[in-house]
Every structure is written in structure tokens, then in C-alpha cells.
Amino acid sequence: MKPLTCIIVDDEPLAVRLLVSYAEKTPDLKLLASFTDSISAINAIKAQQPDLLFLDIQMPNIDGMELAHSLPESTRVVFTTAFKEYAFESYEVNALDFLLKPVRYNKFLAAVEKARKQLQPSPTPQPQQPNTVFIRVDGEWRNVAVEQIIYVNGMKDYVMFYLDGEPKPLVTHLTMKAVEEMLPNDRFLRIHRSYIIAVDKIQKVDRNDCVYIGREIIHIPDGYLPAFKSFMETRTFR
């Protein structure tokens, strides 16, 4: 995770030292600079564009509210002040948080985490693989559990699904390519032009590159061997 960057601006040296000590002990937070003069801070803020600015409100020359209006859009502001009456004004500049002095570390840390959630959102969850698939058989749709499929055998324009607990395969009008795209690729592997197998249903693989699965023995052609051996390496104790 990329560290958040921050700058601290407060005209009180003791307040700056306290916040600096907080920043230095906070994981994944990098302190770029600290200032007791708002005018000196402006150029550094514009040049370094920190993720987070801890900013006092009541300061000489340029106060915190004025400074906040000139910030880069990417910088989030956390106001630090001894005067709670400024809280309402802080919303005018879309402040991330408002901390009353003396600032406690748990409040400081909470503000950092709030900034982290805004600036580093969680990755988009990947769609889950289906637990069942629908297979059209004799004009009807059969809902079949993926874990029930042992292997699939292609015959011209038809495929046969061999299932656990079913004496006969389900025959449907499909291509092997369509089946390959439909089934979860972390659980099924195509090992032959005419066969897709459930890898967890493999009983054994002999020295002649024959896969024993269900009641079938399937010899893996040379063109499919590299992918199969690559898979086997991920599942084999060494």
C-alpha cells in the first residue's frame, strides 16, 4: 500500500511538535514537511501536493480558512484548532475532519484512516464464479451444480456432461469452446480437443500422460501437455 503523505501547518511550535510525533509513529503516513508560518507553507503545499494537510485555523498573515481555499484538489484538509466555533466554517471548504486541541492520537489516527478510505478505495471485488450452470436437455433446462460435473466430452456439435450420481451423461447442443468459457477456469481444464475435466475429480495421471477420471482414461495430446503440466506443478508436493 502506498503511504499517504502529509504536511503540518500551525503557528504554535508545541502543537507542531505534537502532530509531528503523531505522524512519525503512524504506519504508512509520510511527513513531507511542517511549518509554523502559513505563507512559507503555501509554496511547499502547491509543489508537493500532499494527500493530507493538518492545518491550524487561527494564524497570522493568512489564516487556515484562507489557505484551505487555495489548496490542490487532491489534498484533504484536517483542521486543528482550540476553537470549536470554527467547525461550521470548516464545512465550507469540504474539510475531511475537524480536531479540537489538544489533539489526541486516537483522533489523529481516525482522521488519517478516513483520508485513506477516500484516497485509496478498496479494490473492486471480482465477480464470483457460478455454483450452478443451466444445461438444455430435450427442450428443458437442467440446473446442474458445477461441483457435480466430472468431465465433458465433445462429439461434433454436441457435448456430453458426465455427472456424479447420474448413470447417463446429459447431452446438449453446444460447442466445446462455449463450455470452456462457461465453466470456472480455476476448477476445469481442457486437456484434449474433445475433453474438459474437473481437476479435483482426477484419480491419477500415469507415466504415459493418461488421465484417469470417472470411468474414462484420457490420453493428453502433445498440444495440451504444457498447460496441463503447468497446472500440475501448482498442485504437486515437491
pLDDT single digits (tens) 64-99: 888 888 888 788 999 998 877 655 555 556 788 889
Q: Say what percent of the chain tops pLDDT 90.
A: 58
Sign, CA torsion 103/109/115/117:
negative
pLDDT band at 160 (very low <50, low <70, confident <90, very high): very high
Number of neighbouring beta carbons within 10 Å of residue 177: 10
Cα 139 to Cα 3, 173, 232, distances in angstroms: 58, 11, 38
The reported pLDDT for the residue numbered 107 is 94
3-class DSSP state of 157: coil
What value does the CA radius of gyration of the chain take, rounded to a whole number of Å? 31
Least confident segment among 33-42, 58-67, 102-111, 219-228: 58-67
pLDDT single digits (tens) 14-40: 999 999 999 999 999 999 999 998 888
Q: Per-residue pLDDT averaged across 158-168, rounded?
A: 93
With a CB cutoff of 8 Å and minimum separation 6, the contacts of 57 are 63, 64, 65, 79, 80, 81, 83, 86, 89, 90
Report how far residue 18's alpha carbon sits from residue 14's, in angstroms, rounded to the nearest whole number: 6
The reported pLDDT for the residue numbered 14 is 95
Q: Give the class (CATH, top level) of 4-119.
A: alpha beta
Higher pLDDT, 158 or 63: 158
Q: How far is CA 139 from the centre of its chain?
A: 41
Share the mean pLDDT of the chain. Answer: 88
3-class DSSP state of 102: coil
CA-based max dimension of the chain: 87
pTM of the model as a whole: 0.52
Report how far residue 186's alpha carbon sits from residue 158's, in angstroms, rounded to the nearest whole number: 24
CATH architecture of 132-234: Beta Barrel (2.40)
Higher pLDDT, 52 or 124: 52
Domains of the chain, residue spans: 4-119, 132-234
What is the identity of the amino acid at 29? L
